[in-house]
Amino acid sequence: MSAFVVEYARMSDNLIQRIERIGQQLAKATRIACLTGAGISAESGVATFRDANGLWNGFRIEEVATPEAFTQDPQRVWSFYAARRQALLAARPNPGHHALARMKQLCPEFTLITQNVDGLHQQAGSHDLICLHGDIWIDRCNACGWQRRAQQVVETVPTCPACSRHVRPGVVWFGEILPQDALERAIQKCCSAQIMLVVGTSSLVHPAASLATWARQAGAALIEINLEPTPLTDIADESLQGSASNILSALVDSWPQT
């Protein structure tokens, strides 16, 4: 965590005032839900998907992130995820991940939901988070259900010790359904939240992106944190533009009890 510096000096006075006001609002709430996307891990050096240097600018989704791609060329798909695992070995949680773990301690009912598969929220101490898109460190066999937590990065697609079929990473691919229990819990928590935070996601991938809309329709105040506007910005009550780690740290710092 010491490698990261929270840059309050770069924030405008207007942004600091808004953060302080929202911090007070958050401190009064008893039920907060938060959805995160790749942007929260960007400052840990993890590539996002749709930004200028994002993964989907260098790879075609249909070649590396669909069940059909895995059937057609398991090694190509495995290599894509092995490279991502390798990159993650050097990644550490940043102040944004830590601020959300702290919010969990401050709010009576704080539910963290992530689209990320990188494990950085867990490393920051958010253990009971809802993972909508799986976990990249799980090795799984689709044929028989065998699975284990990967201990190291393996370059060659492994075979299942139980049934000899190819093992895949435990992420949700395009065209697959999300884990039912995770999605149901996320919907329930978002639709009963008083405030919903949406952090570092382009809000383009559904159903995750719909959670914020459903929360808003159910009466939650919607607060977005992102470097740039997204399709959600127009319906958000507050759109805080800037770095997720800076803004989340400042929000926790402005919590009256801290």
CB-nearer residue toward ligand OAD: 54 or 125: 54
CB-nearer residue toward ligand OAD: 198 or 220: 198
Q: Does 228 bind ligand OAD (CB under 6 A)?
A: yes
Residues 26 to 45 in contact with ligand OAD, rule: CB under 6 A = 37-39, 42-43
* Token pair listed for 106: 């401050």
CA distance 122 to 41: 12
CB-nearer residue toward ligand OAD: 161 or 174: 174
Q: Does 63 bind ligand OAD (CB under 6 A)?
A: no
| 58 CB-near residues (< 8 Å, 6+ apart) | none
On the question of a cis peptide bond just before residue 158, with omega within 30 degrees of 0, the verdict is no
The correct pick among 44, 126, 226, 239 for binding ligand OAD (CB under 6 A) is 226
Q: Tell me, yes or no, if 133 is annotated catalytic.
A: yes
| 164 CB-near residues (< 8 Å, 6+ apart) | none
Residues 188 to 207 in contact with ligand OAD, rule: CB under 6 A = 200-202, 204-205
State in angstroms the smallest separation of the CB of 69 from ligand OAD: 12
Name the catalytic one among 97, 98, 121, 133: 133
Residue with tokens 């830590």: 98
Q: Nearest to residue 112, comparing CAs of 128, 125, 123, 96?
A: 128
Q: Does 169 bind ligand OAD (CB under 6 A)?
A: no
Residues 123 to 162 in contact with ligand OAD, rule: CB under 6 A = 133
State in angstroms the smallest separation of the CB of 215 from ligand OAD: 17
State in angstroms the smallest separation of the CB of 137 from ligand OAD: 15
Q: Nearest to residue 1, comparing CAs of 91, 85, 135, 84?
A: 91
Q: Does 179 bind ligand OAD (CB under 6 A)?
A: no
State in angstroms the smallest separation of the CB of 94 from ligand OAD: 9
Side-chain-facing half-sphere of 9: CA atoms under 13 Å: 1
- In this structure, what DSSP letter does residue 159 have? B
CB-nearer residue toward ligand OAD: 35 or 160: 35
Q: Identify the bridge partners of residue 240 per DSSP, sorted by sequence position.
A: 225
CA distance 94 to 72: 37
Residues 83 to 122 in contact with ligand OAD, rule: CB under 6 A = 115
CB atoms within 10 A of CB 185: 15
Side-chain-facing half-sphere of 30: CA atoms under 13 Å: 0
State in angstroms the smallest separation of the CB of 128 from ligand OAD: 19
Query: Rounded to an integer, what is the distance from CA 174 to the centroid of its chain?
Result: 16
Q: Does 236 bind ligand OAD (CB under 6 A)?
A: no
Q: Nearest to residue 130, comparing CAs of 59, 194, 198, 179?
A: 179
Q: Does 23 bind ligand OAD (CB under 6 A)?
A: no
User: Catalytic residue positions?
Assistant: 133
Binding site for ligand OAD (CB under 6 A): 37-39, 42-43, 48-51, 54, 65, 115, 133, 172, 200-202, 204-205, 226-228, 230, 243-244
